[in-house]
Amino acid sequence: MPATDDLTATRTRRHGCLRALGITTLVLLAVADVLIAVANGKTPWPVFLLLSLGLAAVLWPSARRPAWLTPQLRTAVPAGVSLALTAVAATTERVRTLGPGEVAVLLCLLMIAVRTCPPRWAVLCAVLAGGATIAAPLRFHDVIASEDALLFALPLALLTGVFAGLGGYLRTLDHRRGVAVAETRRAERLAMAADLHDFVAHHVTGILVQTQMARMMAATEPDRLDPVLAGIEHAATQALDSMRLTVGILRGGPEETARLQPGESRPVGDLAALEELVDRFGGPTGRRAELHLDASVPQNLPHTVQAAAYRVVQEALTNVRRHAADATEVTVALDHSDDTLRVTVRDNGRGGSPMPYAARGGGFGIVGLTERVTALGGTLHTGPRKNHGWEVLALLPAMRRAD
């Protein structure tokens, strides 16, 4: 992290130095324009007004720029004043002047127009700023008429094309960066939604099931309530812990990472944690689930594959709680062959569920599982069994890690 911070600080200083150099150069060129007008006996105030508008449009800090000062207004007004000055200078000797500062400002405005103006305005503002740049030498039409016009028009036309192309290139980079940021944010939202659904919903569903069980036992077997209440307490603790970890990831930063307990930074859920997950499925008095972990399953599978297998089992068991409360047999089986991890969860329920409708989920779990499994190059199949019950089958590419 310190190396990254130093690199960021170096880049910031470099960007600040380049910006300061550009501002200084632009201001010095503008001062040169005014001095040229005064030295040639021209009226300086039209040039001063034009350069003031142009410098304000180019150099006004974006953080302090008012909402009404849109890119199209910033480019159109100075370019329009330049065209008006060209029209007047063609007939009036007193304002006939042109310097490098005005050309530099117009080229900067051209780049701003192409890069930042809305699509409908970009072409119009670019034509206005580019036209003002190319038309500026027409103030000396009598000199141009006696000389080769290409000597005046060609350099400015080339510069106009270069700055327009640079603005278009920067606009493309901005668009790509925006798309990348949007995709990254979407991926982060999906990952956080998957974490919240997989862990918090799993524990909350367990709390709901055991609470219903405790209510039934309160009237008939009150002496057996303590294990059920202990299970509820454990599930609530796990839900809060999962939420704390998720919020910590959302907040980000080294400070939040440092608060995590040892071992919490590793991928949550792996093959080693499956036994506890399956053992706690039925609670102290509910139906039990059986785990069949074949000897062919290696322990050194990639963490991403182990986490995906854990999530598949977790979501399948959560759905059994929600939709198959009458199931008497729940089986979790894992085996490995041909570099493929096969995860199967079966139940023999007939679809009975005493849960409220709002607690039965909205189908997001299967959608999230499908996205997670296919992202690893695997496949997910869910559907009813031949007689009755439900089956979830995930096939995950799982080559052993090189030790």
Q: DSSP characters for 186-237? A: HHHHHHHHHHIIIIIIHHHHHHHHHHHHHHHHHHH-GGGHHHHHHHHHHHHH
**Last residue within a domain, chosen from 147, 165, 195:** 147
The pLDDT score that the predictor gives to residue 266 is 39
Choosing from 99, 131, 147, the residue where a domain stops is: 147
Q: Is 163 domain-assigned?
A: no
What's residue 7's pLDDT? 62
Asked if residue 168 belongs to a domain, the reply is no
SS3 content of the chain, % helix, strand, coil (to 5): 70, 10, 25
Q: Which domain holds residue 297?
A: 182-397
For residue 164, tell me if it sits in a domain.
no
Residues in the chain: 403
Instruction: Looking at the structure, tell me whether residues 237 and 301 fall in a common domain.
Output: yes
The verdict on 215 and 314 lying in the same domain is: yes
pLDDT at 341: 92
Q: How far apart are CA 83 and CA 139, in angstroms?
A: 10
Tokens 């059986």 map to which residue?
A: 290
pLDDT of residue 143: 66
* Lateral strand order in the sheet of 390-397: 289-293, 330-337, 340-347, 390-397, 379-384
Same domain, 186 and 140: no
The verdict on 213 and 288 lying in the same domain is yes
Same domain for 382 and 318: yes
Residue 24 and residue 79 in contact, taking contact as beta carbons nearer than 8 Å: no
> Is the same domain home to 363 and 238?
yes
Mean pLDDT per 10-residue segment, the chain (403 residues): 58 80 90 90 90 92 86 93 90 85 93 92 93 88 62 83 94 90 75 66 66 67 70 70 67 48 49 83 66 87 86 84 78 90 88 51 66 86 85 85 52
Phi, psi for 27 (deg, rounded to 5): -65, -40
- Residues 315, 256 within the same domain: yes
Instruction: Classify residue 343: in a domain, yes or no.
Output: yes
Instruction: From residue 226, give the alpha-carbon distance in Å to each of 211, 280, 332.
Output: 12, 16, 28
- In this structure, the answer to whether residues 107 and 232 fall within a common structural domain is no
CB count in 10 Å sphere of residue 386: 6
Q: Are residues 192 and 142 in the same domain?
A: no
Q: Are residues 124 and 189 in the same domain?
A: no
Q: Which amino acid is at 46?
A: P
Instruction: Say which CATH number the domain at 348 has.
Output: 3.30.565.10
143 shares a domain with 188:
no
Within a domain: 177: no
Look at residue 171 and tell me if it is in a domain.
no
Which residues, listed in sequence order, are joined to residue 341 by a DSSP beta bridge? 336, 396
The tally of domains found in the chain comes to 2
Domain assignment of residue 402, yes or no? no
Domain assignment present for residue 230? The answer is: yes
What is the per-residue pLDDT for 301?
Answer: 87
Q: Are 191 and 332 within one domain? A: yes
